[in-house]
Amino acid sequence: MIYVVDASLSIKWYVPEIYDREADKILNGGHQLHAPELILPELSNIVWKKTRKGELTEQKGEAIVSAFANAQIKFHPHKNLIASAFHGAATSGQTVYDWTYLALAIALNCQFVTADEKFYRALEKTTLKKNLLWIGDV
């Protein structure tokens, strides 16, 4: 399967959290994984927050960021996604950031797997459901 993944899912590969087993199924299931380049600073920011709170050491945080940058994910530039992401955000009231992932999934004709419940719930009853997968349903 081909999936687009976001930082809310990807952090679970490195830090124990709810739905981490489901996230591991995505990572280790032989799937083709894609993400907009936006995921790199988003995941790094999550890791940074966890180091600031004392949940991770700085050394562990740096290791996670490095490992993720080298993960088997095809990173896509934003240039071809931004117009679609902006339109989706404008029509749905959800952020351009979140829509960048969904725009990529639509372009690749696949599902965007997320642990961002707010975004998922906002669109789960729309025609976009075919491109969305809640991490709890993996």
Instruction: Report mean pLDDT in 10-residue bins for the chain, 138 residues.
Output: 97 96 96 98 98 97 97 96 97 96 98 96 94 96
pTM for the model: 0.94
Q: Is 9 helix (H, G, I), strand (E, B) or coil?
A: helix
98 lies in which domain range? 2-137
How many domains does the chain contain in total?
1
Is residue 133 left, alpha or beta, with left meaning phi > 0 and alpha meaning psi from -120 to 50? beta
Tokens of 136: 């709890």
Q: Is 95 helix (H, G, I), strand (E, B) or coil?
A: coil
CATH of the domain at 49: 3.40.50.1010
